[in-house]
Amino acid sequence: MEKFVIVGGNRLKGSIKANGSKNASLPILASTLLSGGVCTVHQVPRLRDVFVMQELLTYLGAKVTFDGNTMRVDSTHVQSQEISEDLMRKMRASNLVLGPLLGRFGSVRISHPGGCNIGSRPMNLHFKGLSALGAKITEKFGYITAETSQLVVNVFNIA
């Protein structure tokens, strides 16, 4: 195993280029659904889950281009529509579209997400958060339906 030995007394200086992160890019790409316009996201890694998110955004009506590591998403013509089990089960992070679609359109119906085999990863925290904002969440026949007339943030003054 290699190691770095740092001997004190000298300042470190220089620069590095940080690569994009899948776990940062996927929520950012899902959030472009809120804009109703054009968003440009840089340093997006060219990975399978990112391509699945691109497919999901396109399915919803977004125009998506991927040039190098820059993704441009135009969500002007996105419509909230039922997202099929086939598409949702391609990756775990597909559940990230639930909040943005609910926030923009007031209702959304998606299949349970799929993806990794590392164990149970329940949706209860997503449901709890959206419910706290005023959404009504129902699950039936493997589909999740979320509806709201308006999402509301309650701020409590804790002394």
Q: Domain with 95 in it: what CATH number?
A: 3.65.10.10
Strands (E), the chain: 38-41, 63-67, 70-74, 107-111, 136-140, 143-147
Any domain includes 11:
no
pLDDT classification of 23: cutoffs 50, 70, 90: very high
Distance CA 56, CA 93 (A): 11
Selection from 53, 16, 61, 55 nearest residue 36 by Cα: 61
Any domain includes 6 = no
Determine, yes or no, domain membership for 9: no
What rounded mean pLDDT belongs to the chain?
88
- pLDDT per residue as tens digits for the range 50-104: 999 999 999 999 999 999 999 999 999 999 888 888 888 888 888 899 999 999 9
Q: Could you list the residue range(s) of the whole structural domain that residue 103 is in?
A: 22-147
For residue 77, the Cα-to-chain-centroid distance in whole angstroms is 19
Choose the catalytic residue: 46, 58, 82, 116: 116
39 flagged as catalytic: no
Could you tell me if residue 8 is inside a domain? no
C-beta separation of 56 from 95 below 8 A:
no
pTM, two decimal places: 0.82
Residue 114 lies in a domain: yes
In the chain, how many domains are there?
1
